[in-house]
């Protein structure tokens, strides 16, 4: 299978290449794609060198699938061109997520919606992905009424510039800034741009994408998204109100049986999910499972995942795997 990775030199693009290799995706020819300034440079994939090409050159090479992770502008410009050439696009930017004509997919949650007509498929926001994987089995059993989520998001979600800012600050060096404030020894309650309603774009993504992926607009969601000085993964405190009451042992069983979820929940032995434990893993870790004692039929969870893996690269590759399994690519 001919596979194009658009944005192959970026943080997520590099992770996509790693995940493709680790999961033994059937790549017979890799087409790494980046901007004009990277054209001709070489990248290594499974011990073989591949030259970087431009998006226009990649279209001419007719890959079977193109995994995009090069920002919304690139996706808006080139994804339709790839699709028109008959190439299936899995896009990691926010460009197509809320387009009513495009599917927004987390394979464990709504992979059944994919069809041969889908030529541009949206990969959800990293914070949304890890949350809905955990919500899905609980919604099926108890029906979710409302979700209150607060996130604790890794600097890797912003990109290399943010990682460099954190490391520079930690070393006491001046350097290029990704954030308007110091991130080391600090917490910034601001991810993406503020909207007219006082929420940030990241918070509104979590609200709207959850409804779209879960296929249920009746689920009410409110979010506060926060950047913290860690690497390895995003963490979320999730409060879920259900229509029907639940048994905690059954909740743990449902989560343990959910594909892509690992339960790490043993407070007596100080076992709970942390970003350093999620780093490099494809699974979503969930713990601190307990009742909300202030309100009936309400559950508290702590959810952690590697935002560059399941939150981006792994989910995109899993979509490609599902398309391949269904014979759609």
CATH number, domain containing residue 41: 3.40.50.720
Domain that holds residue 282: 127-307
Identify the pLDDT of residue 287: 98
> Using CB atoms within 10 A of its CB, is residue 81 exposed (0-12), middle (13-18) or buried (19+)?
middle
Q: How many CB atoms lie within 10 A of CB 147?
A: 22
Identify the pLDDT of residue 204: 98
Task: Give the mean pLDDT of 175-181.
Answer: 97
CA 323 to each of CA 18, 67, 126: distance values in angstroms, whole numbers, following the listed order: 19, 12, 21
Quote the CA–CA distance of 180 and 244 in Å, as a whole number: 44
Asked whether residue 193 falls in the same domain as residue 120, the answer is no
| Gyration radius of the chain over CA positions | 20
The percentage of residues in the chain with a pLDDT greater than 90, rounded to a whole number, is 98
Identify the pLDDT of residue 105: 98
Say which of 234, 244, 279, 324 is annotated catalytic: 234
Asked if residue 252 lies in contact with residue 289, where contact means CB atoms within 8 angstroms, the answer is: yes
Asked whether residue 106 falls in the same domain as residue 158, the answer is no
Confidence of residue 227 (pLDDT cuts 50, 70, 90): very high
What residues form DSSP beta bridges with 299? Answer: 240, 291
Asked if residue 300 lies in contact with residue 237, where contact means CB atoms within 8 angstroms, the answer is: yes
Torsion of CA 179, 184, 189, 192, to 10 degrees: 30
pLDDT in tens, 228-241: 999 999 999 999 99
Asked whether residue 138 falls in the same domain as residue 284, the answer is yes
Top pLDDT among 109 and 10 is at 109
Q: Is 46 left (phi over 0), alpha (psi -120 to 50) or beta?
A: left
Q: What's the number of domains the chain is made of?
A: 2
pLDDT in tens, 245-281: 999 999 999 999 999 999 999 999 999 999 999 999 9
Asked whether residue 119 falls in the same domain as residue 200, the answer is no
Asked whether residue 18 falls in the same domain as residue 74, the answer is yes
Asked if residue 149 lies in contact with residue 191, where contact means CB atoms within 8 angstroms, the answer is: no
Is position 139 annotated as part of the catalytic site?
A: no
Asked whether residue 120 falls in the same domain as residue 203, the answer is no
Asked whether residue 40 falls in the same domain as residue 141, the answer is no
Quote the CA–CA distance of 320 and 244 in Å, as a whole number: 36
Asked whether residue 144 falls in the same domain as residue 220, the answer is yes
Asked whether residue 146 falls in the same domain as residue 247, the answer is yes
Identify the pLDDT of residue 95: 95
pLDDT in tens, 66-83: 999 998 999 999 999 999
What residues form DSSP beta bridges with 188? Answer: 227
CATH number, domain containing residue 268: 3.30.360.10
Confidence of residue 322 (pLDDT cuts 50, 70, 90): very high
* DSSP structure class, residue 83: H
Identify the pLDDT of residue 213: 98
Q: How many CB atoms lie within 10 A of CB 191?
A: 22
SS3 content of the chain, % helix, strand, coil (to 5): 35, 25, 40
Q: Is 250 left (phi over 0), alpha (psi -120 to 50) or beta?
A: alpha
Torsion of CA 92, 125, 284, 114, to 10 degrees: -60
Asked whether residue 161 falls in the same domain as residue 282, the answer is yes
Asked whether residue 92 falls in the same domain as residue 158, the answer is no
Is position 324 annotated as part of the catalytic site?
A: no
Identify the pLDDT of residue 154: 98
Say which of 126, 244, 279, 324 is annotated catalytic: 126
Q: Is the pTM of this model over 0.85?
A: yes
pLDDT in tens, 23-63: 999 999 999 999 888 999 999 999 999 999 999 999 999 99
Asked whether residue 172 falls in the same domain as residue 284, the answer is yes
pLDDT in tens, 136-161: 999 999 999 999 999 999 999 999 99
């Amino acid at each position: 299978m001919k596979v194009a990775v658009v944005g192959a030199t970026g943080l997520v693009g590099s992770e996509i290449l790693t995940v493709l290799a680790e999961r033994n995706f059937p790549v017979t020819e890799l087409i790494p794609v980046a901007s004009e300034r990277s054209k001709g440079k070489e990248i290594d994939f499974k011990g073989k060198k591949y030259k970087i090409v431009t998006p226009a050159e990649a279209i001419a090479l007719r890959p079977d699938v193109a995994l995009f992770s090069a920002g919304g502008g690139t996706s808006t410009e080139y994804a339709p061109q790839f699709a028109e050439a008959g190439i299936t696009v899995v896009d990691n930017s926010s460009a197509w997520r809320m387009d009513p004509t495009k599917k927004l997919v987390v394979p464990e949650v709504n992979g059944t919606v994919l069809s041969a007509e889908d030529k541009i498929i949206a990969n959800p926001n990293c914070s949304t992905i890890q949350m809905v994987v955990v919500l899905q089995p609980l919604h099926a059993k108890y029906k979710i009424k409302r979700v209150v989520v607060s996130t604790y998001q890794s600097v890797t979600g912003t990109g290399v510039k943010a990682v460099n800012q954190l490391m520079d600050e930690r070393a006491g060096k001046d350097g290029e800034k990704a954030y308007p404030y110091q991130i080391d020894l600090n917490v910034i309650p601001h991810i993406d741009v503020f909207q007219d309603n006082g929420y940030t774009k990241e918070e509104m993504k979590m609200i709207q994408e959850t409804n779209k992926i879960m296929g249920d607009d009746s689920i009410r969601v409110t979010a506060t998204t926060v950047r913290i000085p860690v690497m390895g993964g995003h963490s979320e405190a999730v409060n879920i109100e259900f229509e029907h009451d639940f048994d905690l042992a059954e909740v743990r069983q449902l989560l343990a049986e959910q594909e892509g979820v690992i339960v790490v929940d043993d407070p007596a032995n100080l076992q709970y999910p942390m970003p350093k434990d999620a780093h490099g893993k494809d699974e979503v870790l969930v713990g601190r499972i307990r009742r909300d004692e202030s309100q009936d039929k309400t559950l508290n969870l702590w959810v952690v995942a590697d935002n560059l893996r399941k939150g981006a690269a792994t989910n995109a590759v899993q979509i490609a795997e599902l398309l391949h399994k269904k014979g759609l690519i």
